[in-house]
Structure 1
Amino acid sequence: MEYEVNKWSLTSERSAKDYILKVEEDYFIGRQEELSFFHNYLHTNDQLVNILHYYGTGGVGKSFLLNAFARKAQEENVTYIQLDSQDFLHTPSEFVDYFLNVLGLTVELDEDELQPYTFKNMMQLIKKISITQKLIITMDTFEQMEELERWFLQIFIQQLPPNTVVVLAGRYPLKDWNPSPSYRFKTHQFELKEFSLEQSRTFLNQFGIDNENHIQAIWRFTDGHPLTLSLTTLTDRQHFISNHEHGTLHDSSHILTELTEQWLQEVRDEDILHLLYSAALFYHFDREGLSTILEKEVTNDIFQKLISLSFIRKSAMGWMMHDLIRDAIQVELQQRDPKLYQTVLKKIAEYYYKKAIRTKSQHDVGMFFYHIQNDYIQSTFFPNSTSMYLEAVDEHNFQEVIDFFEFKKKNIVESDASFYNRSSNKSYHFHASKEHNENEANYLGPDYIEKLGYQTTSLLKNSDGETVGMTIIVPINEASVSILEKEPVSRAYFQSLSTEEMKYYQVPPNKHAGWYIRHLDFVDPSDSSLLSYLLYNLFTLFTEGKIITSTPIEFFQDLLKNFGFQEVEGASHYDFGESTPSSTFLLDISGERFDVYLKQFLPEDDNQNKLDILAELFSLTEREKDIIELILEDKSNQEIAQQLFIAEITVKKHVSRILKKAEVKNRTQLIKRILEFV
C-alpha cells in the first residue's frame, strides 16, 4: 500500500534527507514571527555578529524551530552549520574537532583545508567562508554546555567575523554575559511559548483530528505544549477520547510519563530531584513551605538550584512549576508510591490550614482548598493564566460597566465552558441556557449597580486592559438589605427571614454582616480561564460572616455543596423561569466558625476528627463527645448509660445540654444538625 504525503514522494532525484525536510516543513505549525525574523537576518549585511537566542522549557519546539531555520537557509543557499552540545565532550579541543567535522560535511572543502584540527585553522576557515556569503552557526541544547559556556561566549563568539549569525537554543535565557565593549555584537533573546488554541487546532488538523470536541479535549490536556500535542497524536485516535461530548483523554498517563522523562533530563542532582517531587505537590511553593513539609531546613543553595530549572518560574505568591510537569510528576508519584503521595498532600493541607487560620488571606485560604484533594474545586477555582486583574468600579470607569451590559444584551447566547484536571483526567462542564442569560440581562444593568453602590462591582481586565468580565458581590448591611429584599433572585432569601434573623444583617453601611454573590459574567462564554479567575477571587469572602447566593445552574450548585454551603429551606424561587426552580445557599462562618469550617476539610484518619470538629463547634465536654458518638451509632439512653457505666438520668441531662448547645429540640434534629458539619 502506498502513502502520499502532501503529493510529495521519494524519487531518485530526491534524497531521503530532502524528503524528511519536506515532511517537517509541511507539518511545521506556528512560529511565523520567529521564522520571519530569521529570514530577515539572512539578507542583512550589517558588519555585526548577530546572536539569536531561543529559549523555553523542554518540548516547546526549539529543535524543531532550528530545523525550520535550516530549511529556510537551504532555500536561500546560505551556509548553515548545525551543532548540538550533546554530540561532543565539553572541552575547547573537542569542540574544535566536532565543529570541523560538521563543517566538512556541510561545506565543500578539501580534506587538506580541514587540517590541522586547531582553533586557529577553524577560525580561518570561518572567516574565509564569511567573506563571500552569510554564515549561520547554530547550537542546540545550549543549556548543557555548562563549563564550556563561558569559553564559547567569550572566546569563540568574540572572534567570529562580521556577517555571521549565531543561533542558540536552550532552556534558559542568557545571563551574566557582557561582550567586550570594543566589539560589535547584537544579541536578541526570544522565549518560545506554547501554541495558541488556533495553532493547536491547525496542528491537529494536519494529523486528521478535526472533531471540535476532541480538539478542545486535547487543548485542555496539553495547554498547547508542542511535544505533548505530538505525543497525543501518536495515541490511538479511536480510543483516546473517553467522553465524546465534552472530551477527556482515555489514558493519558503514558504521555505524562514520557514528558517527565524529557523534562527531568536537566535534573542531575539527587537532592534537587527529591526536592522537586515535593515541590510538584504545591500549587505555589517557597523555601518555608518546603522546609516545613520535609521537616528539615532547605538551604538557600539547593533552593536556588531548584528554581533555576527551566520549567519553574517566579509568581506573585512564590514559585510555580510548569503545570504540565507538575501534573506529570504528581501522576507518576501517585502511581509509584501512593502512600507517600497522600502523606505529603496531607502535610501540605495542614500547613495551609494553620496559615489560613492565622492570616485569613485570600492566598492562604485558596491554597488550603487547592490542597484538600477535592478534584472539583481544584479543577475550577485555579486559573492557569495570571495575566488578568480585577479593577474596582467608580465614576471614572462606570462607562465601561454600561458598555459591558450593552454588549451582553446584544450578544445573548448560551454559556458553555469546560474545566479539565490533568492529574485525575476528569472534566467538569459549566452550562447556562440562553433563557437564563436573557433573564439575567433583564434583571441586571447599570441601574442595579447605582442602587447598591459602586463597591459591589469589579471589572475583570486582561493584560491589555480590556474588560473581559464582571463580578457583582454585595456587602450586606442595613443600607443594602432593604434593596436586596426587593430585587429578583435575592428577595427570596431576605423575605424568608424572621424579624430576629433580619437583625443580624442590620449593621451600619460602613460595615458588613456578610456577602451576597449576585453575578459572575464574562465576555467569552466558552473561556473557562475567565470564570476560574472570577471564582478564585471569591476566596476573599471566605474569612467571616455569612455568604449567600442563589442559582439554578447545576455546575454552581455542585461547587457550593463541595464548599459546604447549605440549602436554605423556604428560600427557593422561580425568578429564572416557571420551569426553573432556584435554591438559595448559605455558608455561615461568622464568629468562631471559620476555624471549625476549614478543619472539616482536612484529610481524616478516623471519626475522631469529626468529633473534634463538633466539640469545637458546640463547646462540648469530653463526656458529651462520648455521648454524641454513641447517639450517631443509634444507641438509646439506656444503652449509652450501660456502655459508659453511668446512670440513665445522667445521660438524659447530658443529652439535654447537647440539644441546647446545638440549638435543636430533639435527637432527630440533632443528627441532622451534626450531619451538616461532618
Structure 2
Amino acid sequence: MEREEDKGLHPDMTLGARIERLREDEFVGRSFELRFFTDYLTRLPERNERILSVYGTGGMGKTVLLERFRAIAAGRGALYVQVDLRQVRRGPEQIAALTFAQLPPDTGATLGGSGAGVRDGASTGGEATLEPAYAEDTASDAALANRFAARLNRLAASRRMVLAFDHYEEIGSLDDWLRETVLPKLHANMLVVIAGRFSLEGPWRLPPWRKLAVALSVSEWSYDEAMDYLARCGVTEEAACDRLWLRTLGHPLSLAMATATYLDNRAGYGSLYPPAALPDRLDTQVEELVRHWLQEAQDDELRELVMAASIARTFQQESLILLIGRDVPSSLFDRLVRLSFVERGAGGWRMHELVRETVRHSFRERFPERFRQYVRSAVRSLRGRIAAGLRQGRDISEEAAELLGQIGNPILRAHFRHSRASRNYWETIGPHNAADAETYIRRRIDSARDSVVRCSDPETGKLFRFSLSAVQSLLPLHHIDVRELIRLGDGRALRLLRCPRGETVGLAAAVPIRSSTLPYLKQAPLSRAYFAAVSATANDALHDGGFFLYATDVIDYENEELRSDIVRLKLSQMMSGTVLLASPPHVPYFAEAYRSLGFAPVPGAEHADYDAATLTPTYRLDTRGAAMLAFLDRVCDYPDLISGDRSDEDESAAFAAAAGDDTKAHWTGERARSDTGFGTTVGGSAAVSLTPREQEVADLLTEGHTNAEIAAELYMSVAAVKKHVNSMLHKHGLRNRTQLAKALTAARPLRKPPD
C-alpha cells in the first residue's frame, strides 16, 4: 500500500490541508481553462473585460474548476471570495452575508451602518450573521449595494481580488440587483467570475456588458484527460478504460460515477473482474444522472417534453407536435430550449449527446410502449420527408443523417454518435494549392503512427475498437497522384481539409466517372478491377455523374472531430443522388465503415493493388432517384418499427411514386433482379421477386448461416432476419427454412452476371 509520505500527506497536516491536497491529486485536464484564468488574473490592468463567464451543462465540473481558480489566486497573492448561490434564499442581504464571512477583518465596517446589519464574519468567529436590527433597517437595496461595494473596494484597492458566483442559474431576480446596482460600483482591480449552466444572455448581451464579459465554455474531458483521471483512480485495464470512456463520452460527473461503480464491483472480484460486464452494471446510475440533469425541468409537463425531444438528434417545435400528436405551446417550447443541455444547431435544436442518450434510456425503460410509439412516428415522418424531398429535388441530407443515426446498424449508429460539430472546412484543390496537397501527403508519411479508433453504439452499448497500424493508415494515399487527379477532375477530384488555423489536416480524392475519365479509370490501380469486371453497357450507365472514391484521409484517425469530417463528407456524397464506387484497403476499420454505410461488394471486382497480396473488394452504392429510399430502407432495416403496414413491395411502389419515378420496377422486384441477377424459381414457375435486403439474407441462408449469424453479418436484428425469412417463405409458398434453402439453392443457376 502506498505510504502517506509518498503521496505528500504528512502526519502533521490539518484535515483541510489533506482535503486540498487530495483535490489537487484528483484534478485532471482543464489546462486551457486554467491558463485562461491565470492570464486574465495576471494581466487584469491591461484588459478591458472584468467578468469571466464560465458555463457548461450539469456535471462538467465547474465547481471543481472554481476551486482550482481559488488556488491559483492564492498563489498570486490575490484574495478569492466565492458565493454558492444555492445557499441564497432571502435576498441581497444574504449574498452580502456569505461574502463578508470570507473577508479579513475591517475594523468598524458593517453593512447596516452604526452597529446594525451584516457584520464581518471574521470578527464573529467566521460566520456571517444577520442581526435583529437589520430587519428594522429601511435602507434600500441600492444603499445595501453601496455599502457592499465599499467594503470590497477597500480590500481591492490594496490587492487583486476575485469575486466568484457559483451556480448562477439560481440567481433569479437578484441578477438585476447584482448587474445593475453592485457590479458598476466595484473596483477595477477586481475580477468577477460567474459560473453556471448557461452563458450570460439577455441584458448581459447588450452594451456595455458584452464588452466587459468574456465567455469560457467548459466541456467534456478529452480521451487523454479521461485516461489520466482513470489512472489516478487505479483503473489501468485497457478494456475497462475504453468502456468507461465510451459509456460516458468524457463527461466528468458520469465518468466519476461510472468509475466508482466499476471500482466497487471490482473489489468483489479482484483482478478477475470482467470489463465486458461494465455497461450493464452502469445502468444502475442512469436514473441518478437523469435526476441530476432534470433539476432544471421542475414540472412534469416540461419533463415529458424533454423525453420526447430525446427521440431525435435534432428537433423543432413543429416536429415535436407531430411526434407526440398534440400541441406544444410556444411558452413550453421556449422553456425547453432554454435548458442548459439544449443548444441551437443546424436544422433546429439538439440535446447534449450524453444527456439525450441517458434520458432516452430512461424513457425506454420506464415507458416502453410510448417510447416505441414515438420512435415509430419519427421514422415514418422522416421517411415521408425524404420522399417529398426527392420529389421536390431538395437536399435531404439532414433527414437522412437523422434516420441513419437513429435507426441504422450498430456500426453506423456508433459512427454517428461520435460525429460532432467541426470547425474544420473542405476546400477544392487546383494548381494554386496543389503543393499543399503534396506537402500533406509527405507529412502524413513522415508522421504516420499506429492508431486505435474507439466508438460505441448508444442503443446496445456495444464497443467497436479498430486498430490501424502506421502502414495500414497510409494505404489510402498510395495511389494518389495530385497533379493527374487535378487534370482529370476539373476542380472536383481533390479536396483539402483545413483546421481554423489554415493547416491541412485531411485530404479526399474522388474521380468523376464520365467518358473523358474512363481511359484513366480503366487502367489506374484500385479502379481498373471494377471496370474490367462489368460490361461496357454498365460503364456507359455511369456517365451521368458517378464517382470513384479513391481516398479519404486525415492526419489523426483517433481525433473525433476529424473522423466527424469524414462521416459528414461521406454522407454528402451518398446524398448527392449518384453512383459511388470505392475500393478501400481491406482493413476492418475501412471495410466495415463502407459496408455499414450500405456499400455492397461487386462480384469479380477484387484486386491486390495495395500490396500485391491482399485481395481487396470493390464496393458500389446507387442512390439515384427512388434507389435512395431503397438504400435507406436497407441500411436502416426497421421492419419491426413498421410492422402492420403495407407489404414491402406495395410500400416500395408508393415511395417510388412519391419520389417521382414512373414505374414500380425502379426498385421493387424487377430492379432487384436487374441489379443483383438473383431471381428465384420454384418448380419451373416464374421468378419470385425479392427485395434487395431479402436477397442478402437469401445469400447467407443458402450458405448455411443461422439467423444470428446472418444478423451479425448484415448488421440487423435477429427479429429482422426472421421477418425477411418469413416473407420469402410466403412468396415461395413454402413452410420451413429447409425448404426455402433448397429452393434458393436450386435457383442459383439463374444468377446473371452483374451489369
Tell whether the structures are fold-level matches, with TM greater than 0.5: yes
**CA displacement 1:212-246 (0-9 Å, x = unmatched):** 55545444443333223322331324968999999
Partner of 2:122: 107
Residues 451 and 470, structure 2, Cα contact 8 Å, conserved in 1: yes
Residues 84 and 139, structure 1, Cα contact 8 Å, conserved in 2: yes
**CA displacement 1:254-307 (0-9 Å, x = unmatched):** 344433222221222433222221222222222232222223343433222222
CA displacement at 1:64 relative to structure 2: 0.9
Query: What letter is aligned with 1:207?
Result: C
CA displacement at 1:74 relative to structure 2: 4.8
Task: Select between 207-216 and 366-375 the one with higher mean Cα deviation.
Answer: 207-216
| Mapped pair 1:429 → 2:465 | yes
Partner of 2:81: 81
Q: 2:341 aligns with which of 292, 303, 311?
A: 311
CA displacement at 1:315 relative to structure 2: 1.9
The two structures, once aligned, show a CA RMSD in angstroms of: 4.3
Residues 422 and 564, structure 2, Cα contact 8 Å, conserved in 1: no
Matches within 5 A, 1:234-633: 234-237=260-263, 249=279, 251-357=281-387, 358=389, 359-381=394-416, 383-411=419-447, 416-432=452-468, 436=472, 440-453=476-489, 454-505=491-542, 507=543, 511-512=544-545, 514-540=546-572, 541-551=574-584, 552-600=586-634, 601=636, 603-604=638-639, 605-606=642-643, 608-613=646-651, 619=664
Query: What letter is aligned with 1:456?
Result: A
Share of identical aligned residues, percent? 23
Partner of 1:663: none
User: What is the rounded CA distance, in whole Å, between the counterparts of 1:544 and 1:437 in structure 2?
Assistant: 29
Query: What letter is aligned with 1:524?
Result: D
Residues 346 and 372, structure 1, Cα contact 8 Å, conserved in 2: no
Return closer, same or farther for 1:68/1:105 CA change in 2, 3 Å cut-off.
farther
CA displacement at 1:518 relative to structure 2: 1.9
User: What is the rounded CA distance, in whole Å, between the counterparts of 2:72 and 2:575 in structure 1?
Assistant: 56
Partner of 1:143: 169
**CA displacement 1:104-160 (0-9 Å, x = unmatched):** 685345899975546376566545555655554332111111122112222233444
Partner of 2:178: 152
CA displacement at 1:516 relative to structure 2: 1.8
Partner of 1:64: 64
Query: What letter is aligned with 1:463?
Result: P
| Mapped pair 1:171 → 2:181 | no
User: What is the rounded CA distance, in whole Å, between the counterparts of 2:7 and 2:357 in structure 1?
Assistant: 40
User: What is the rounded CA distance, in whole Å, between the counterparts of 1:163 and 1:535 in structure 2?
Assistant: 48
CA displacement at 1:669 relative to structure 2: 8.5
Residues 77 and 159, structure 2, Cα contact 8 Å, conserved in 1: no
Task: Select between 166-175 and 2-11 the one with higher mean Cα deviation.
Answer: 2-11
Return closer, same or farther for 1:519/1:311 CA change in 2, 3 Å cut-off.
same
**CA displacement 1:70-99 (0-9 Å, x = unmatched):** 334555665443321111315334445555
* SS of match in other structure, 1:18: helix
Residues 520 and 534, structure 1, Cα contact 8 Å, conserved in 2: yes
CA displacement at 1:333 relative to structure 2: 1.6
Residues 413 and 458, structure 2, Cα contact 8 Å, conserved in 1: no
Return closer, same or farther for 1:107/1:68 CA change in 2, 3 Å cut-off.
farther
* SS of match in other structure, 1:252: helix
Aligned residues: 637
Return closer, same or farther for 1:388/1:340 CA change in 2, 3 Å cut-off.
farther
Residues 80 and 106, structure 1, Cα contact 8 Å, conserved in 2: no
* SS of match in other structure, 2:4: coil
Matches within 5 A, 1:219-234: 219-234=245-260
Query: What letter is aligned with 2:18?
Result: Y
| Gapped regions of structure 2 (runs ≥ 5) | 104-118, 138-143, 657-662, 674-678, 689-730, 733-742
CA displacement at 1:487 relative to structure 2: 1.1
Task: Select between 140-149 and 259-268 the one with higher mean Cα deviation.
Answer: 259-268
CA displacement at 1:431 relative to structure 2: 4.5
User: What is the rounded CA distance, in whole Å, between the counterparts of 1:397 and 1:132 in structure 2?
Assistant: 57
Query: What letter is aligned with 1:544?
Result: G
Query: What letter is aligned with 1:107?
Result: A
CA displacement at 1:325 relative to structure 2: 0.8
CA displacement at 1:482 relative to structure 2: 2.1
Residues 408 and 637, structure 2, Cα contact 8 Å, conserved in 1: no
Partner of 2:693: none
* SS of match in other structure, 2:71: helix
Task: Select between 379-388 and 319-328 the one with higher mean Cα deviation.
Answer: 379-388
User: Structure 1 length normalisation: TM-score?
Assistant: 0.81
Task: Select between 552-561 and 493-502 the one with higher mean Cα deviation.
Answer: 552-561
Query: What letter is aligned with 2:555?
Result: V
Residues 548 and 584, structure 1, Cα contact 8 Å, conserved in 2: yes
CA displacement at 1:418 relative to structure 2: 2.2
Return closer, same or farther for 1:52/1:371 CA change in 2, 3 Å cut-off.
closer
Return closer, same or farther for 1:339/1:515 CA change in 2, 3 Å cut-off.
farther
| Mapped pair 1:189 → 2:215 | yes
User: Structure 2 length normalisation: TM-score?
Assistant: 0.73
User: What is the rounded CA distance, in whole Å, between the counterparts of 2:68 and 2:97 in structure 1?
Assistant: 26
Return closer, same or farther for 1:250/1:147 CA change in 2, 3 Å cut-off.
same
Partner of 1:650: none
* SS of match in other structure, 1:548: strand
Residues 81 and 106, structure 1, Cα contact 8 Å, conserved in 2: no
* SS of match in other structure, 2:422: coil
Return closer, same or farther for 1:584/1:247 CA change in 2, 3 Å cut-off.
farther
